[in-house]
Structure 1
Amino acid sequence: MAIKLIADSGATKCSWILLENDKKTKVATSGLNPYFIQPVDISNVLSQSLLPKLKNKNVDEVYFYGAGLDSLENRKIMKKVLNKAFLDATIEINTDLIAAARATCGHHKGVVSILGTGSGCAYFNGKKIVQQQNGIGYILGDEGSGAYLGRKVLQYFLYKTFDEDLMNAFEKKYNSSRAEILNNTYLKPFPSQYLAGFSAFLSENRGHYMVENIIEDGLNDFIVTHLYKFREAWTMPLHFVGGIAYAFKDVLKELCNTYELELGNIQKQPIEALASYHQ
């Protein structure tokens, strides 16, 4: 039986599962998004963080799904790097939207969305994606994502929109100055991950009306801006993948009920379902 390696990479981390007969080996590494990390650094992550844990297994097939692979050039980069790491393996490169679709829809039709550090959505016909809303990044878009919600948290803090309780809670948790926040946002690498980290503040302060407003407004922006572009959204289940979708699934359910949309599967991470798909 072929030894298969499946990977699901976001902007922040990459989850791997090695399938060998009935045995599963799980490995986690840093995210491998070609938009943010150079090929040599991707190779270093593979050689230092992944391959030693696979114990020199002779992998036959690699299925790599990830953020930043919507461009042909980035897919070529990733395939070239993986070919060097797994010399005898067949390599298949796919986007994170394909990962979400295969994980939630299997071989059935559906509209699938990613709400993680970034966001995106697509209509899947059971075999391939035939329409998608391409993300435009954390500065111009990514509505409903962790970066989008985290940015709102920082706005409320820096503009002193939060009431006294939330201002105190923020200061106690993060102990960050205005200068430090601006420096991390505008000058340091990986600002989208930095912004997304502040979405945790929302999870920890559920029930406060300001927090609930930020969550609901952010997810509503995603539905109206993106899901409304698909006529299939009104007739087929809406599936979601990602930490934000999973953390705030109650809000998604409420919004779908309000708009009379059918809520489908919500998965925090698609890697287990992808392993089953390829098994």
Structure 2
Amino acid sequence: MTSSGGSSHIGSILSIADILAVLYGTVLNYKADNPKWQGRDRFILSKGHAGAGVYAALAESGFIPIEKLKTHYQNGSNLSGHVSHKGISGVEFSTGSLGHGLPVATGMALAAKINQNKHIVYVLMSDGECDEGSNWEAALFAPHHKLDNLVVIIDRNKLQSICSTEDTLALEPFVDKWRAFGWNVIDIDGHDHEQLINACHSKVENKPLCIVANTTKGKGVSFMENQVLWHYRSPQGEEYEAAVNELENDNA
């Protein structure tokens, strides 16, 4: 998708591929043939620039046809570069302007509590967007309102668009910050499916759950891993062939 569309953010997409696979394959409660089912869990991709990853997960889960993925980033397509809910089954909220996913998710979780609904609200956000003050307001809000129906997964790949998170605006001690705000925090390997599944089910009564998923930007493609270059660049020609070959061999 990113190659044919000439779009980018492939590094950010690959860092969350395992997380999306676990969410859509095991954790989320949904009905692809009834995307507005009231009992469904809600999922927001706050790091909307990795939208191609969600589109792929939606296609694999039966929300949209696989063939539709070929239209990603094309003129006239609703599979935009940043994830959009417009005309896309299974997308709850359009994102891309960083720092909005968590505040919206806390509102959804509070509404579910008020209405005595049993679904869970999940939000997947980047570590880089934790530079945004709106996230920390939401991080205060959720424990105060005892939103134990809210699960935040943070893609901790430690890289932003042009340099590391620590050189941009230091986040450490990152886990301690979330715990200090009153969250149940679990620090895991974000590419280990068993750890991801167990973490998603490790809820504590009256506390929102924060999963710090330590990941590798560009995971699975050797020349992309931990390289800032692949935040904006898309693979073309020989790079594309080499990347596909590595990913296919890894999954063989």
Q: TM-score, normalised by structure 2?
A: 0.31
The structure with the largest strand share of the pair is: 1
Q: TM-score, normalised by structure 1?
A: 0.29
Q: Structure with the greater relative contact order (CA < 8 A, sep ≥ 6): 1 or 2?
A: 2
